Amino acid sequence: MYNGTNPSALRSQQWFSEALFSLMQTKSFSKITIKELCTQADLTRQTFYQLFSSKEDVLRLVLMKYYTAFEQSLLSKEQLDLRALTEVFFHFFKLHKEFVQQLIDHNLDYLLTEQFTMVLPRIMQLCIDDDIGMIENPHINCSIVSGLSAMIIDWLKNDSSTDEKELVRLFLQMFQQ
């Protein structure tokens, strides 16, 4: 996947993202072809393959942008601990629930966890929570990624009426000693 700063390439990535989401509104992700995606984005297959390896890479790019914005939201907190991480996570993904719902609807919710796993170590460097041993313990960090991702997915699949504050409380309850 292209990670440079060329404005034309970045604009093309954005167009591919928009085109893919448009197609996903009416068609199963697995049935969307690269040719259709290129036609929808009004770009060439050559451009697509210069920027991405697969359709999933388009979604990974969008998720990485979301997680970067999530990280920026976290930095605005006065105290960075597990509570702050959890509050920002649930609030952030409540704001972007349409995107997450699309992933779920197309059986692509694994990408949510996959990409969160990639950014969490960087995010955990910002957080300090001595009671839990965050940062030093990759097993705990893995539990945090899996737990938060699974709760967002379950919340959207089954019970999106639950208040985000209640989700935070339930998640933090798992770490109480």
**Is the four-CA dihedral 41, 63, 72, 154 of positive or negative sign?**
positive
The string of pLDDT tens digits covering residues 119-158 is 777 777 666 554 554 556 677 777 787 888 888 888 888 8
pLDDT score of 129: 53
Torsion of CA 152, 99, 89, 165, to 10 degrees: -60
Number of neighbouring beta carbons within 10 Å of residue 111: 17
Work out the percent of the chain whose per-residue pLDDT is above 70.
Answer: 92
Which pLDDT score is estimated for 162?
82
Angle between helix 97-105 and helix 55-75 axes, rounded to 10 deg: 150
Q: Kindly report the pTM of this predicted structure.
A: 0.80
Residues 49-79 have pLDDT tens digits of 999 999 999 999 998 888 888 888 877 877 7
Q: What would the two tokens of residue 70 be?
A: 């999530």
